[in-house]
């Protein structure tokens, strides 16, 4: 059942954590702000698709950004 064993490397190198945290969170916050601007400027005449796509992009980048922030700070989830 057991074959040869190979060292296991994590999917992302630890050296990339700070860079990834910075850029993913920046991208996430950019879409976050676009979403908020859209929300406050389009009172009563919202396009649901536009709202959801902005929210989706923001949460994707912020989600991964938060993950790498946790990993960078040593909370190995």
Partner 1 sequence: MLHLCDRSRPRVPDCIILDQPHTTTGMRSTSLLLGLILFSSALIVAAADYDTFTNSKIKRRIEASTATVKHTLAIDYKGNGNKYHLTLLNPSKVAYLNVTTNLGQELKTTYNGEHTTNGLTYGSYLVELPSGDSGKLKVIAIYSHVLRPFPEKIAQNEKQLVIFEDNHYIVSPYETTEQTTTIDLSSDRIESKSEKSPTSANGKRITYGAYNNIKPFSSSPLKVHFENNAPFLTVKKYLRLVEISHWGNIAIEDSFDITHTGAKLKTNFNRAEYQRNQNGAPAHIAKMKEYLPNGAVDVYYRDNIGNISTSNFNENAKPPTLEFQPRTMLFGGWRIQFENGYNLPSDKYLFRDNQDSSRYVLNVPFVAQLEDAVYDEVEIKFILPEGVKKAEISTPFSLDSETIGKHYTYLDTSGRTTITITKRNVVADYNTKPFQVSYHFSRSSLLQEPILLISTWFSFFVFVMVLSRFQFRIGKPVVVVPPPAAKGDQMKTGVAQLGELMRLLYSSTSSLLAYPSTSKQL
Contacts with partner 1 by CB under 8 A lie at 1-14, 28, 34-46, 51, 54-56, 58-60, 62-64, 66-67, 70-71, 74-77
Residue nearer to partner 1 on the CB measure, 12 or 26: 12
Report the nearest approach of partner 1 to the CB of residue 22 (Å): 17
Residue with tokens 């992009």: 57
- Spatial separation of the C-alpha atoms in residues 42 and 24, rounded to whole Å: 27
Residue 17 backbone class (left: φ over 0; alpha: ψ -120 to 50; beta: rest): alpha
CB of 75 to partner 1, least distance (A): 6
């Amino acid at each position: 059942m057991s074959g040869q064993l190979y060292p296991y490397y994590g999917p992302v190198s630890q050296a990339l954590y700070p860079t990834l945290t910075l850029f993913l969170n920046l991208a996430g916050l950019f879409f976050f702000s676009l979403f908020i601007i859209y929300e406050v400027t389009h009172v009563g005449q919202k396009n649901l698709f536009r709202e959801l796509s902005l929210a989706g992009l923001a949460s994707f980048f912020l989600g991964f950004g938060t993950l790498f922030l946790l990993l960078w700070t040593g909370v190995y989830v």
